[in-house]
Amino acid sequence: MISNNINRLTITDINSILTVERASFSMPWSEDSYRFELTQNPLSYYWGCFDEQRLVGFIGFWLIIDEAHIANVAVDQQYRRRGIGELLLRFTFADAMAKGAKGITLEVRESNQIAINLYQKLGFTEAGRRPHYYSDNDEAAIIMWKHFAGDQNE
């Protein structure tokens, strides 16, 4: 069952992470970036959702003092529209709050309306924009925030 199969990702998951990453983004992170995140960055936490032994989605965030920053989230194309992204986000909210975060932020492409809709559903609001953020097409990023204090929708 997918919904109960979220585990901390380790270096042994790197090939699976890269497979999902490369199929999901026009500017995927490098293997070296993920190696650093999984083995050297003391601020990073990466979680994966598995169907049996197959990684079908993952999320990574950095905890900086009392703020969490979602570095990336991706779901295998064959598993989209099944609630996996929402499951990973809700899991991350709980994990970040348990680690002392008072809020969580992320950047999203302004054209990614499906993701924006999900983030808004989960309580994120637009807090600003980063013009020309994505170098592949010069697209802006929308900065979104969700504050945990007093929120009943975690």
Q: Which residues are the active-site residues? A: 107, 119
SS3 string, the chain, reads CHHHCEEECCHHHHHHHHHHHHHHCCCCCCHHHHHHHHHCCCCEEEEEEEECCEEEEEEEEEEECCEEEEEEEEECHHHCCCCHHHHHHHHHHHHHHHCCCCEEEEEEECCCHHHHHHHHHCCCEEEEEEEEEECCCCEEEEEEEEECCCCCCC
CA 150 to chain centre: 23
